[in-house]
Structure 1
Amino acid sequence: MANPAFTALINSFNAQLAAMNKNDFKMYDPGDCGYFIDSIYYDNDKDKIMCKFKEDFEGEDE
């Protein structure tokens, strides 16, 4: 079972990221500015906090 305090912390970070992304205040990947951090998660196998990137289509013709 996951630690409730740690789960709450991850959820809090994701809520902040969602609010920032919604207001177009995104945190971009410095290696590829076409992607921004969409969310974070804990990878139990690696014992690390990881992030998921999302492609930023803003300003591009879709």
Structure 2
Amino acid sequence: MASKNLFLLAGDGIGPEAMAEVKKLIKAMNDKLGSGFATDEGLVGGCAYDAHGAAISDADMAKA
């Protein structure tokens, strides 16, 4: 099966906790179903502003 790329942006608030569960689901789908999802992660929101001085970096916008 062909690989499918997913770019994960958890954001702030409940985002990191929710994204942790999403990553578990993606792993299970890959392991049990051979779904072929490849993931990359970026920052968005306050955490991105703290790290890059913008709500989303140019590099992450290019990936999205």
Give the TM-score taking structure 1 as reference length.
0.42
- Structure possessing the higher relative contact order (Cα contacts under 8 Å, 6 or more residues apart): 2
Give the TM-score taking structure 2 as reference length.
0.41
User: More helix by proportion, 1 or 2?
Assistant: 2
